[in-house]
Every structure is written in C-alpha cells, then in structure tokens.
Amino acid sequence: MTHREKPQFDVLIVGSGGAGLSLALRLADHYTVGVLAKFALTECSTFYAQGGISAVLDDRHDSVESHVEDTLVAGAGLCNPDVVRLTAGKARENIEWLRQQGVHFTEFKDAEGHSQLHLNREGGHSHRRIVHSDDATGKAVALSLIERAQAHGNISLLENHNMVELITTDKLGHADKRICGAYVLDIATGNVKSIAAKIIVLATGGANKVYLYSTNPHISTGDGIALAWRAGCRVANMEFMQFHPTCLYHPSARSFLISEAVRGEGGRLILPNGERFMHRYDERMELAPRDIVARAIDNEIKTHGFDCVYLDISHKSREFIRQHFPTIYSQCLELDIDISQQPIPVVPAAHYTCGGVMTDINARTDIPGLYAIGEVACTGLHGANRMASNSLLECLVFAEQAHLDIVRQFDKLPPPPTLPQWDESQVTDSDEEVVIAHNWDELRRFMWDYVGIVRTSKRLERAMNRLLLLKDEITEYYGQFRITSDLLELRNLVIVAELIIRSAQQRKESRGLHFIKDYPEPCTDNPPQNTILIPERAGIAPTRV
C-alpha cells in the first residue's frame, strides 16, 4: 500500500487497470479514493493489452458514424446504439486526456513534416483508427496512470488486497439497500478487514481464467461479476466469451497474445502447408471480426487434427516488422521464431468477457452506490462480439461517465454505517489445500472442452452437471476454512462458470460469439434479446458476514 492506511474512503475502487485508475484520477481532486489491486498494480489486463484504442482522428477519411456502424455490425444486433454513439463520440477527448496524463502514442511525420498520430487498422474496422504505442499500448497507459496515481495525495493504492464480499445496508438490518463497504483480504497478512465507503466501483476486469487457455493475466477470475451477483445485481450476456484468434502456440510461452494489428498490417493466416484458408469463411478474410476468425481457426485445427495454424507477416521487411511490432518480434525471437523469416504458430484462447454486471449509461448497477466499469460491466457497447480495440476505449469513457454521476450523487448519499468485523470464529486453517488446485483445474478443463468456441446442448448439459457438484464442494469448503486468495478466486470462478453455462443454455440460436451446433443460425423471428440473469430467480450463493 502507498500513502496512508484508512478504514474508510469516499470512493473505493476495486481494480488497478485502465478503468479503475482513470476514474481514481478524475475523482481524487475532490474525494478520498482507495484503489484495491489483487496483486501488483501492473497485474491487470490493461498492462498486457497490445493493439491500441479505437478513436476517429482522421476526419478526412473516417467518421464517428462509421465507427458506430462497424461496432454495431460486429455486435450482431445486440449493441445498444445509444451507448455505441456515446462511446465513439467521446473517443477523441479521451485520447487527449490520456496524452495529458503522460501517455505517449506512436507518431509519424506527414508530407509537410508535421507529427501525426499513427493509426492502425484491425479486424472489423473499415478504416485506420487505432491509436497505439507501438505494440504495447496497454503498458504505456498503465504505467502513466500508475505514476500519476502514486503522486496524488488523495489516492491510496492497496496492493495485494483481494475483495471478499460487498457489504450492503440491508445485511446490517437497515430497511433500505445501498452499498456501504466491503470485506477485503490483506493477502500479505492473511487478515480480513472491513473498509467503509459511500461509493464502491467494480473495475475488476473479466473472467477468462475460467478457461484452460487464456490470453489474460491470472487476476481475470470474474471477481467483480461474482461479487455483484452475490450482492443481488443482474448479470447479462455471459454466453458471449470472446476467444482471441491468435495466441502464440509454444510450450515455453505463457499465453502470449499476437496482436490483431499483425493481421491489420497484412498478416496472413495459413495452414502448415502454407495454404491460406480465411477466404472459405468470410470475404473480409483475416480482417473479419474475431468470432469468425476464431471459429475458422478452431474448425481447421479440429478438422485436420493440427496442433495450430500459422500467422505469416514475413512478406513484410524486417525493418517494418521491428518498427510496428517490437514486442512481438523480440518475444518470438527469444523462442527461436524469427517472424521476419517464418510464420508464427497460433491458436485461439479465451480473451474477453463481453457480458457482465448490468449497468446503465452512467455505469450504475442495480444497487445504489455500486458502479461497474470496464470489462466487468455489460454496458451494451459490445453486444454479441466486441470489436477490436473498443475495450480500452470503453474503460476510459465509462470511467468518465461514472465520475460525472458520482459527483452528482455523492452528497445525496448518507455516510456509511459502522461495519462489523469479519467473523472467523467458526472456521479453521485448511489441511487440504490441494482440493483447491484440483477443483480449479477440473473447472477450467471442462469449461474449455464443453463451453468453448463451439458448443452443443449436450456439452452444456454435461458441463452443468459437473459444475453443480463442484459448486457444492467449494461452498462446503468455503464455510469450513479460513479464506485464502486462491479460495476466493475459485469461489468466484465457479459462480461465473455457472452464469456462462446458464446463459448459453438460454440462447437457442447462434449469434456472435455464441455458436451452438443445435441452433447454427441466428433467430430472425423477433428482434434479438439480451440474456439477463436475475439472482432472486436463480438462488444466490450464501454469504458469510
């Protein structure tokens, strides 16, 4: 933790990625802000994001309306048009805000010798509109925001703190229901502390570690989604889990992502014999949206029994590749893959959670005082499939939306009541932590096998049967032993897995990221609907308070 230790903040933000820190910086001039980071501040999805941020900056060749239309097409009928227009319309000002925070984006000299931002093109986009910092945009954003936050006297950064449970006033005997604080595990000491706050903002990222193979860091265990669900918030569209088409396939690589921008700059997907195949799936070929490309690769691998396919950018010069993709070039070179001379072995991997905690256009959830921003939220921007580089943009825009609404609402909310301390009187230290590792592994394996890129009703049924057994075992374990960070993550993951399966079972069609062989076509009888799960109708896991 930096700065002072406080049992109470005006605003408590859970998550230290682009969404959480940009909101903290916007609020900190007027409020005390606590930011929880499960591990190190840099261990967040933002830090590992390569591609960039979509924003219309070339008014001669591009337009906000074109950005809107591309997003709506990628979202396969389930985007909220008002949210899409708001987000695309605020892109330029948020890029400028980032530059004011010290983020340096890649530039080039135009014909007149003036510096201009270099814009990439990625899948689903009809124009070049991806602002980037080489091929490590997220790292540039994260480090700049962390530096600003560390220097601000009103921001307390609590590293190695994992959220255990949200506290609402109704659980404390009050007639109303609003957020008032949280129980938080200090991982370094093993102690659980109660932290009071008028406002709590979930910025915890996605849930992609529910799958065996993922491009995400280890923090992406669906914590915010599970926390909000247990507190009574609706969750939507969890069947739409995005698999990035091109994750490096190598036994020594830790889920290293090969950026969408490689395909945007001419990278070709090929089979082991050098044959291109995307023309058989979509006329946009390598620039088709991610769901189409991921399914195409998955089909080629399964049909032919390949371990992987290949992404070839070697027809470009070494100078071009090193200039545009320095991180990817050097990482692959360490594994004896010279991408200027040979293709990159790639497979799909779980990458982004398009669904999440339902919010309105101001980032509010169903509980007064509780907000959700970034990947944890379902804002209506992504619909059935997120378009490339709209994710960091969403973090920025909805941090701004939350900031504006918190300013409007803050003085209307009463101060939080005194919070009870965490009760550990009925639990003991575990003598069988191997159970956690075994359950974690089993959960991620059957989710990959049965609830992955291509689904069937039978596979979903099998997954649910296994999940319910695991859920009972984990719930029993949680009630008997002192909590650890691993146990908290497992408890959250099993809830998220159930939400994904239940959502997938409810959608009797294939749409966007949800492809099910029993219903291979999208339903055209009625306008498409969001899949909304309500805790009161599904039963909420018991909460220890």
pLDDT at residue 183 tops 80: yes
Percentage of the chain modeled with pLDDT above 70: 97
pLDDT on residue 4:
40
* Separation of alpha carbons 513 and 452, rounded Å: 10
Residues 503-523 pLDDT 10s: 999 999 999 999 999 999 999
481 DSSP 8-state letter: B
Where residue 541 falls among pLDDT bands split at 50, 70, 90? very low
Write b or e for each residue in 16-29: b if 16 or more Cβ atoms lie within 10 A of its Cβ, otherwise e: bbbbbbbbbbbbbe
254-276 pLDDT tens trace: 678 898 889 999 999 999 999 99
Q: Write the DSSP assignment of 435-449 as a string of letters.
A: HHHHHHHHHHHHHHH
Contact yes or no for 481/464 (Cβ under 8 A): no
Alpha helices by DSSP H, listed for 283-416, are 290-304, 318-324, 326-334, 391-409
* CA distance linking residue 539 with residue 232, whole number of Å: 10
- Sheet of 532-533, strands arranged across: 377-378, 356-358, 235-236, 532-533
pLDDT, tens digit (0-9, with 9 covering 90-100), for 74-110: 999 999 999 999 999 999 999 999 999 999 999 998 8
Query: DSSP string spanning 86-125?
Result: HHHHTHHHHHHHHHHTT----EEE-TTS-EEE-EE--TT-
Look at the alpha carbons of 503, 506, 511, 517 in this order and tell me if their dihedral is positive or negative.
positive
* Whole-number Cα distances in Å, 202 to 4, 14, 43, 336, 478: 22, 5, 16, 41, 23
Q: Please, is 185 exposed, middle or buried when counting C-beta atoms within 10 Å of its C-beta (0-12, 13-18, 19+)?
A: buried
Tokens for 177, please give them.
């229901």
Would you state the structure tokens that stand for residue 321, as one six-digit string?
A: 């590749």
Amino acid 63 reads: S
Q: How many residues does the chain have?
A: 545
Averaged pLDDT for residues 484-501 = 97
User: Whose CA is closest to 377, among 242, 220, 513, 203?
Assistant: 203
pTM comes to 0.91
- Residue 161 is given by DSSP the state E
Name, in order, each residue with C-beta under 8 angstroms of 264's C-beta and a sequence gap of 6 or more: 120, 121, 122, 123, 125, 130, 287
Output the pLDDT for position 6.
53
Q: Read off the pLDDT of residues 194-210 as tens digits, 9 standing for 90 and up.
A: 999 999 999 999 999 99
Range list for CATH 1.20.58.100 in the chain:
434-538
Q: Is residue 2 scored above 50 in pLDDT? A: no
Q: Is the pLDDT of residue 430 over 90?
A: no
CA 250 – CA 242 distance, rounded (Å): 21
- How high is the pLDDT of residue 192? 96
Tokens of 114: 């003036």
- Specify the 3-state DSSP secondary structure of 185: strand
Shortest CA distance to 10 belongs to which of 28, 25, 22?
A: 28
Q: Which residues belong to the active site?
A: 290
- Helix (H/G/I), strand (E/B), else coil: 186: strand
Q: Kindly report, residue by residue over 40-55, the tens digit of the pLDDT.
A: 999 999 999 988 999 9
* Separation of alpha carbons 71 and 390, rounded Å: 8
Question: How far apart are the C-alpha atoms of 143 and 136, rounded to whole Å?
Answer: 11
Q: Where in the chain is the domain with CATH 3.90.700.10?
A: 244-350
How far apart (Å, rounded) are the C-alpha atoms in residues 504 and 354? 13
Euclidean distance between CA atoms 157 and 33, whole angstroms: 9
Q: State percent of the chain over pLDDT 90.
A: 85
Are 507 and 531 in contact by the 8 Å Cβ rule? The answer is yes
Q: How confident is the model at residue 545 (pLDDT cuts 50, 70, 90)?
A: very low
What is the C-alpha separation between 6 and 279, in angstroms, rounded? 58
Strands 33-36 and 155-158 turn out to be parallel
| Residues 244-350, CATH architecture | Alpha-Beta Complex (3.90)
- Any idea which fold 434-538 has? Methane Monooxygenase Hydroxylase; Chain G, domain 1 (1.20.58)
Tell me which residue of 298, 282, 206, 208 sits closest to 246, measured CA to CA: 298
Give the DSSP H/E element, type plus range, for residue 450.
Answer: helix 434-450
Q: What pLDDT, in 10s, does the model give residues 438-480?
A: 999 999 999 998 999 999 999 999 999 999 999 999 999 999 9
